[in-house]
Amino acid sequence: MKNKKGKSFRGLKGQGVEISLGDLVDRLGIVNQKIWALENEIRKGGEGKFTLAEIGRRALLVRDFNKERIAYKNAINKIGERYFNDIKIDHRSAFEENNNE
């Protein structure tokens, strides 16, 4: 992905396409909603509604969506020229910094 200065962003589905700040914000909102919905279903239902295997599957989905969320946040920060990387250390959603550039 490229910001307004033509810098490339990697890590967002591996595509090297140009994307606007508005599109990034929209995508961040969508992935946030997906995370919230999954977490809410787990909290409301828990073991009474889902098997432990299903809870684990949903937790892994949250982790995967969080990786995507981090990539969007980092791309937005670069475009806004207030660049800092959101880097998770020893966390299930750890995302390699090289994938966010």
Q: What is the pLDDT of residue 57?
A: 93
Query: What are the sequence ranges of the domains in the chain?
Result: 21-95
pTM as predicted? 0.64
| Whether the Cβ atoms of residue 87 and residue 97 lie closer than 8 Å to each other | yes
Which band of pLDDT confidence, cut at 50, 70 and 90, is reported for residue 97? very low
Express the helix, strand and coil content of the chain in percent, nearest 5 each: 60, 5, 35
14 or 56: which leads in pLDDT: 56
Scored b (16 or more CB within 10 A) or e, 72-90 reads bbbbbebbeeeeeebeeee
State pLDDT tens for residues 49-62: 888 898 889 999 99
Integer Cα distance of 47 and 45 in angstroms: 6
Which pLDDT belongs to residue 78?
A: 81
